Amino acid sequence: MYRITLIPGDGVGPEITDAVTRVLEATGVFFDWDVQNAGEEVYKNEGTPLPDRVLESIRKNKVAIKGPITTPVGTGFRSVNVALRQELDLFSCVRPCKSYKGARAIYETIDLVIFRENTEDLYAGIEYEKGSEGSRAIIELVQKLSDREIRQDSGISIKPISVFGTDRIVRAAFEYARKNNRKKVTSVHKANIMKFSDGLFLEVSREVARDYPDIEFEDRIIDNMCMQLVQKPELYDVLVMENLYGDIVSDLAAGLIGGLGMAPGANIGKEYAVFEATHGSAPKYKGLNKVNPLAMMLSGVMMLRHLGETEAAERVDSAIASVVKEGKDVTYDMKPSPDDPSAATTSGVADAIIAKMKK
Ligand code: NAD
């Protein structure tokens, strides 16, 4: 019996969470869900979108699975997703992108794993509003130190990249490669322009690579990487990068394998792991029982593997592969046209996968 923190999230979160827990329970593995709500509604009722009880529950149970949570743009509370990663020091965001036969993938042979650093970079949350005391002080300091002018009406976000943060994410990527028989790690950066942040990321990547002579290492500049992923993704294996590039490249890679509906993820630290899909709360589809639960379900497969339930993980994964290949019981986003009247519902996909697992 596993006691797992379950965060249904908001938007389409609760409906996909329901589909996913039903499938995970159908494996025969016993789960005791510690349900913890967070997000928009909780903000209205409890004054914070991420109450301490949620963090305490994850600290106690060590493992959590969550639905997406809305982040208001520009105003309101800061991202719960980013706060969770920072509070629990979940420094590795692991996003596998594998094409399943039958999915509307651009290529059928993609098998990438993206390691996105989760705690630093422009996501560190060190920001100063235009005209604030902080931004004025930074503008003044920069002028004094470098004689470079920043316009007075600028908003400022700071991009910290440390040796410590880079070493542990690159090491996590190499460790993963070694454990999972992967051949190559590619470090992705823009070191030619940002010499002291991305330059450091590249230098530390090279140093860590020396500890793993059995695994090939190379680096790519981020813009070139994007083009290469679209043109020849089969050349790549494990990719490691800073937070912002990782955010963007994982959506790009999700597009290559058939969309966000198929892209799972895990946020992993030394002590805790939180599993969640790459996609967000898709608010316009809330309550319609329409969106694809497979991304969160595949995150559940990653969780089963993390718990050591390999056989159950394989069973869910092959049931998913077989439902996707048949192409009948899949949601609108996996049909040739999004208006296809034969598209399955969110709960219908779960029913089809459970039925396959019973065969
Ligand atoms: P989104 O991923 O929610 O949706 C973008 C579009 O992708 C949707 O309109 C839909 O067409 C498609 N899509 C997404 N998930 C799908 C699914 N499961 N099945 C089928 N189609 C799917 O991105 P967004 O609209 O930019 O963000 C909405 C909210 O989610 C924002 O508040 C954002 O901050 C938040 N968000 C949360 C997380 C998280 O919880 N980890 C991640 C990303 C975005």
Catalytic residue check, 66: no
Domain-wise residue ranges, the chain: 1-96+263-359, 121-159, 161-256
What's the confidence (pLDDT) of residue 111? 94
279 lines ligand 1 (CB under 6 A): yes
Catalytic residue check, 123: yes
Please classify residue 241 by burial: count the beta carbons closer than 10 Å to its beta carbon, then call 0-12 exposed, 13-18 middle and 19+ buried. Answer: buried
* Lookup: tokens for 232: 């020849």
290 lines ligand 1 (CB under 6 A): no
What's the confidence (pLDDT) of residue 72? 75
Cα gap 6→37, rounded to integer Å: 8
Closest CA to 63 of 271, 284, 315, 296: 271
CA of 211 from ligand 1 middle (Å) equals 38
CA of 148 from ligand 1 middle (Å) equals 39
Catalytic residue check, 247: yes
Instruction: Note whether 1-96+263-359 and 161-256 share their fold.
Output: no
Of 43, 123, 176, 236, the active-site residue reads 123
Cα gap 227→240, rounded to integer Å: 16
Q: pLDDT tens digits, residue range 111-146?
A: 999 999 999 999 888 999 999 999 999 999 999 999
Q: Mutation test of ligand 1: which of 71, 95, 257, 279 has the most ligand atoms closer than 8 Å to its C-beta? A: 279
Contacts of 103 (CB under 8 A, 6+ apart): 257, 258, 262, 324, 334
R_g over Cα of the chain: 21
* Lookup: tokens for 209: 């690579």
Can you tell me which atom of ligand 1 is nearest the CA of 79?
A: 34
Q: pLDDT tens digits, residue range 193-213?
A: 999 999 999 999 999 999 999
Q: pLDDT tens digits, residue range 264-309?
A: 999 999 999 999 998 999 999 999 999 999 999 999 999 999 999 9
Q: Regarding the domain delimited by 1-96+263-359, which CATH topology (the fold level of the hierarchy) does it fall under?
A: Isopropylmalate Dehydrogenase (3.40.718)
263 lines ligand 1 (CB under 6 A): no
Q: Mutation test of ligand 1: which of 50, 77, 95, 260 has the most ligand atoms closer than 8 Å to its C-beta? A: 260
Of 195, 223, 284, 325, the active-site residue reads 223
Q: Which CATH superfamily is domain 161-256 in?
A: Response regulator (3.40.50.2300)
187 lines ligand 1 (CB under 6 A): no
The pTM for the full model equals 0.91
Alpha helix stretches (DSSP H) within the chain: 13-26, 40-46, 52-61, 80-87, 133-146, 163-179, 198-209, 222-231, 243-256, 294-306, 310-326, 346-358
